[in-house]
A and B are shown apart, each in its own frame.
Chain A
Amino acid sequence: MTIEEQVRDIVARITRVDKSIITRESTFKDIKADSLDVVQALVAVEELFEIEIPDEVAQKFQNFGDFVSYVESKVAQTEKV
């Protein structure tokens, strides 16, 4: 399972939307996620991949694709270390 699929699963589970509607272009608003959904998704992703996503970074995510790209880059960094 790719990182993108795993992140999509988490977001779909937390927001209770069908994962097929979450594309890389989807915003949290598109999938009707509220601030608590977003925080829960961030925490769940942080725990799964053992990474940290600072608030100031998370606030800049324009869409699901940005979120996934950041997680991918952090995971790659961790693997290098």
Chain B
Amino acid sequence: MGGDYAPEEIVKGAVLAAQQGDVEIFLVGSTGILENHLARYGAAKNSAIHVAAASECIAEHESPVAAIRRKPDCSVAVAAKMVKSGEADAFVSAGSSAAATVSAIQYMGMLDGIYRPAIVGSMGTFARNTVMVDLGANVDCKPHQFLDFAIVGSVYAKKFLNIVDPKIALLSTGVEEGKGNEAVREAYSLLKNSGFNFVGNIEGNEVLGGKANVIVCDGFVGNVLLKFYESIGGQARDWTEKKVKKYPFLGILVKLVFNRLFQATEISSETEKGGGGILWGIDGVVKIAHGASRAPRIANAIQSAKNAVRAGTTESLKLELAKYNQGGKL
């Protein structure tokens, strides 16, 4: 029951998702507070929404990593345990991403061969056949994590983009093997010997060029790039509108053109439109919604988690990992 606008917007989002149908929702948190809010939104007797008790919560100043160990009854921990036990199929959180991630790792577990979960997103209109991993789940990465990202990205590219043998590239500061920081240089060597269709390093100016289907980078770089990319359309529109202020007709045209550009730079349904990112590599579906999500985005996140369960994303990844772990090529 976390998030910048919790519990109001979370409860409203759940009510909205339930109205859209075909989903059953457990709101996990303080039962009194949740039941009051459900009553306020006229959903106290909605048979698609239930309340599950969590007696603890993580304070803002607490380290999420340590808190999960000390507070096994906080809402994200309870939610993760519900998925593990089969009581729920997926969990969605708009609270601390770190707390949700740690709970998922701790109580649901990682898939065999994956060290930490990652967020995947396709590059939208400009590079329809390109996905990036990681978009923010792992700020500091060890070299072997880049290999995990390549595995996860390959499965995504095959399953959602129908690419048979995805080309993998490593995002770096130069195309030569020795370019990049220490982790990237070590990752290059791992990827080169991995059996993947590894096409080497690419630089930032090649991200949208279609040279690779899967671009791997650490979550710090991926998240910065994601937000920069998604800002391009809006920034370009604002700048151009200012320039043509004197000509009202041109202003309308600019709006039309740049609103399309703005949509084009949104990264895939897996992130913005879906209300956040799915944590790939966890043994189950976990959706990390933006902290600032309001009701419509929370509803989208719930629907997106449902779709991921229906699409069998975890099972697909398990199958591919089993092949890879047995020495096969993805």
* Chain A positions near chain B (C-beta within 8 angstroms): 16, 32, 34-36, 39-40, 42-43, 55
Contacts and interface: CB of A to CB of B under 8 A. Distances in A.
Instruction: Among A16, A39, A40, A55, find the residue whose CB has the most chain B CB atoms closer than 10 A.
Output: A39
Nearest to B101: A36
Nearest to A59: B66
Given A35-B63, A36-B102, A43 B142 contact: no
B106 A40 contact: yes
Contact of A16 (B65, B68, B102, B142): B142
B69 A43 contact: yes
Contact of A35 (B65, B105, B115, B116): B65
A31 B106 CA distance: 21
B128 interface: no
A8 to B, nearest CB: 18
16 contacts: A16-B144, A34-B140, A35-B63, A35-B65, A36-B65, A36-B105, A39-B66, A39-B69, A39-B102, A40-B106, A42-B69, A43-B69, A43-B106, A55-B66, A55-B69, A55-B70
B185 to A, nearest CB: 15
A44 to B, nearest CB: 10
A39 B115 contact: no
B144 A40 contact: no
Which 7 pairs show the lowest CB-CB distances between chains A and B?
A: A35-B65, A39-B65, A36-B65, A39-B69, A16-B144, A16-B115, A36-B102
A79 B63 CA distance: 34
Interface of B: 63, 65-66, 68-70, 102, 105-106, 115-116, 140, 142, 144
B120 to A, nearest CB: 20
A41 to B, nearest CB: 11
Nearest to B102: A36
Contacts of B116: 36
Contacts of A43: 69, 106
Contacts of A35: 63, 65-66
Nearest to B139: A34
A42 B68 CA distance: 12
A43 B66 CA distance: 11
Contacts of B115: 16
Residue of A16, A36, A55 with most chain B CB atoms under a 10 A cut-off: A36
A43 to B, nearest CB: 6
Contacts of B65: 35-36, 39
A34 B102 CA distance: 12
Contacts of A34: 140
Contacts of A16: 115, 142, 144
B305 to A, nearest CB: 23
B139 to A, nearest CB: 10
A40 B115 CA distance: 12
Contacts of B70: 55
A77 to B, nearest CB: 21
Contacts of A39: 65-66, 68-69, 102, 106
Nearest to A46: B69
A11 to B, nearest CB: 14
Given A39-B66, A39-B69, A43-B69, A32 B102 contact: no
A36 B140 CA distance: 12
